[in-house]
């Protein structure tokens, strides 16, 4: 069974615990379709450490494909980092933020992914997210993504 995505039980008298890791992602294309690019930040909340990665994804990308492939790359990178440190991803809480309502709502199951290439990307991200103990998905304003990632 996968993580409790956005179904974290909290005592209303206390504020919810911060996530172990905050992942912020953004992708796009120069032209639509065009040259795909993306960036992601992995922030270890308690330690305050942050790592930002920039990606060049190749030609013939739509903005939405770039968003999904950036998130997938970020999740794969985080999983590899955790395993290298000897940590079990199932013991890690993760908050994912992006400015793509389409990606977030498709991952949450609120919107359908009708195109096969989008369904494939959504399913891959869900499989990766399912390896974490607790996951929260959240849309954020574009300006916040630009502030953190620089684009």
Domain holding 83, by residue range, is 19-149
User: What pTM did the predictor assign?
Assistant: 0.89
Integer-rounded Cα Rg, in Å, for the chain is 15
pLDDT value of position 14 = 54
- Residue 3, domain member (yes or no): no
- Asked whether residue 5 carries a pLDDT value surpassing 90, the answer given is no
- Asked whether residue 10 carries a pLDDT value surpassing 60, the answer given is no
Contact predicate 71/40, CB 8 Å: yes
Name the domain count of the chain.
1
Cα–Cα separations (whole angstroms), residue 59 to 23, 31, 38, 117, 118: 25, 10, 13, 15, 17
- Residue 12, domain member (yes or no): no
Residues 44-96 pLDDT 10s: 988 878 899 999 999 999 999 999 999 999 999 999 999 999 999 999 999 99
The domain that contains 123 carries what CATH number?
3.30.420.10
Average pLDDT, whole number, for the chain?
Answer: 90
Looking at residues 95-117, what average pLDDT do you find?
95
- Residue 2, domain member (yes or no): no
Contact predicate 138/19, CB 8 Å: no
- Residue 1, domain member (yes or no): no
pLDDT value of position 124 = 97
């Amino acid at each position: 069974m996968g993580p409790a995505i956005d179904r974290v039980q909290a005592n209303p008298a206390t504020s919810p615990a911060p996530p172990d890791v905050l992942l912020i992602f953004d992708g796009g294309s120069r032209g639509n379709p065009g040259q795909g690019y993306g960036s992601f930040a992995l922030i270890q909340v308690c330690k305050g450490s942050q790592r930002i990665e920039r990606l060049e994804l190749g030609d013939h990308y739509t903005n939405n494909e770039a968003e999904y492939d950036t998130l997938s790359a970020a999740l794969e990178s985080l999983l590899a980092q955790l395993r290298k440190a000897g940590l079990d991803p199932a013991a890690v809480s993760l908050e994912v933020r992006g400015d793509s309502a389409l990606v977030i709502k498709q991952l949450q199951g609120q919107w359908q992914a009708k195109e096969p290439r989008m369904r494939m990307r959504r399913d891959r991200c869900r499989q990766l997210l399912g390896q974490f103990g607790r996951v929260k998905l959240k849309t954020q304003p574009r300006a916040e993504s630009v502030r953190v990632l620089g684009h």
